[in-house]
Amino acid sequence: MVTLPAIDMAATGRNIIKLRQDAGLTVRDLQEMFGFTTPQAIYKWQRGTAMPTIDNLVVLAAVFEVSIDDIIVVDTCIHAQIGA
């Protein structure tokens, strides 16, 4: 067994909510910044049911004035069997 890091999607979603609120932005504000026709993707990020793509993470980091590492929450307690 090997311990591998994994993204905690629920905690990352909570982080996105906090960073958005701290920046004084609404979901609609982010929707307009990204040019999304609906806010569903942002709600999925916030619920932890989907992750932003790498390029969207870069934009979020710039908008929130943080690093990508400040957005993503990593759980290092995931155990996996590595084998060929």
> Distance of alpha carbon 23 from its chain centroid, rounded?
15
The count of residues in the chain is: 84
Assign 5 a pLDDT band (cuts: 50, 70, 90).
Answer: confident
The pLDDT > 70 percentage for the chain reads 89
> Could you read off the pLDDT of 17-55 as tens digits, one per residue?
999 999 999 999 999 999 999 999 999 999 999 999 999
Residue 8, both tokens: 């905690």
Show the domains of the chain with their CATH numbers: 2-80 (1.10.260.40)
Residue 59, both tokens: 């934009």
